[in-house]
């Protein structure tokens, strides 16, 4: 169903207004991080991004005295004047004409044809499209394209895992299960060993999987393997995979807004830092150093 011009204008203007607010929030966040970044904890730096995510998610703008975008409305002076005719009772009654010849009848002015008698003008009005309707459907087309892109990326990842991933042996499965229980994770998470990746990762999805590179499956890699699995399980425990789904959907909706593209890298970095800070809790100083060395060695990208 094609929306009318007024509905399309309201939708497009709402998108533009929220986009402008999002740009302002992003600039304030970057300024705040630059001033107080070293004094903030990793968890706080990461939490600040949710102000922007919520702004892009909630379509409601609270009414205040300050408006970044103001649509001009027609005032009473711009409305067409209405002329009221005199009541019929005050006008003199018409005198009936008993006889009228053909010449007099030709002098009677002809009225305009009815709307039904002007099919060309009616068809033209029916198929006319405003600029707002065009912009609305351009936005819909971009949303559909970005959603298709997300589904294609997910399908390619599934295909890649089918070709390169294998199930772990009993030793790795037992280590992974014991670590999950120790971290208080009750949900069963699938673990796969993948031969063509260099760092562990947690896939994005409702039922994510932990991917472990084959280089960490050897007997001499137990400590590094434990750190790697601990990090990915911490991502799952913190629900970071759901946040990545959230940001992916926001990129589909706000594909035209540079904010959703500019925030992707710093948000991921803060997500990783917050996850690392929680993953090393309870470790000794030697364990923290070994953990940091592993992360530098892998140069990881932990959420795919």
pLDDT tens digit at each of 304 positions of the chain: 668 889 999 999 999 999 999 999 999 999 998 898 888 999 999 999 999 999 999 987 655 444 555 454 444 444 444 444 454 444 555 555 555 555 544 555 555 555 455 555 544 445 567 899 999 999 999 999 999 999 999 999 889 988 999 999 999 999 999 999 999 998 999 999 998 888 899 999 888 999 999 988 887 788 889 999 999 999 999 999 999 999 999 999 999 999 999 999 999 999 999 999 999 888 888 888 888 888 777 765 455 5
Q: Which residues pair with 193 in a beta bridge?
A: 166, 212
Q: What does the alpha-carbon distance between residue 252 and residue 150 come to, in Å, rounded to a whole number?
A: 8
Stated pTM of the model:
0.76
Q: What does the alpha-carbon distance between residue 289 and residue 210 come to, in Å, rounded to a whole number?
A: 23
Q: Is 210 exposed, middle or buried (0-12, 13-18, 19+ CB in 10 A)?
A: buried
């Amino acid at each position: 169903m094609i929306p009318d011009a007024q509905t399309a204008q309201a939708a497009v203007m709402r998108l533009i207004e929220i986009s402008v607010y999002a740009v302002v929030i992003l600039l304030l966040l970057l300024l705040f991080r630059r001033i107080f970044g070293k004094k903030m904890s990793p968890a706080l730096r990461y939490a600040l991004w949710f102000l922007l995510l919520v702004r892009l998610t909630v379509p409601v703008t609270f009414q205040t005295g300050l408006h970044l975008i103001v649509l001009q409305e027609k005032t009473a002076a711009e409305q067409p004047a209405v002329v009221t005719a005199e009541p019929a009772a005050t006008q003199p009654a018409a005198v009936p004409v008993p006889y009228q010849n053909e010449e007099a009848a030709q002098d009677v002015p002809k009225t305009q044809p009815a709307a039904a008698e002007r099919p060309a003008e009616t068809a033209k009005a029916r198929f006319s499209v405003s600029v707002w309707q065009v912009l609305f459907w351009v936005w819909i087309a971009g949303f559909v394209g970005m959603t298709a892109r997300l589904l294609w990326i997910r399908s390619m990842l599934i295909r890649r895992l089918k070709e390169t991933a294998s199930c772990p042996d009993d030793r790795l499965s037992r280590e992974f299960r014991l670590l999950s229980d120790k971290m208080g994770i009750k949900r069963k998470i699938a673990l796969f060993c993948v031969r063509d990746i260099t760092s562990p990762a947690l896939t994005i999805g409702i039922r994510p999987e932990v991917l472990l590179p084959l280089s960490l499956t050897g007997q001499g890699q137990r400590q590094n393997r434990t750190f790697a699995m601990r990090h990915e399980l911490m991502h799952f425990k913190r629900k970071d995979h759901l946040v990545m789904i959230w940001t992916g959907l926001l990129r589909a909706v706000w594909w035209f807004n540079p904010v959703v593209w500019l925030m992707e890298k710093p948000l991921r970095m803060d997500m990783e830092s917050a996850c690392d800070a929680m993953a090393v809790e309870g470790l000794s100083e030697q364990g923290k150093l070994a953990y940091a060395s592993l992360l530098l060695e892998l140069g990881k990208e932990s959420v795919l």
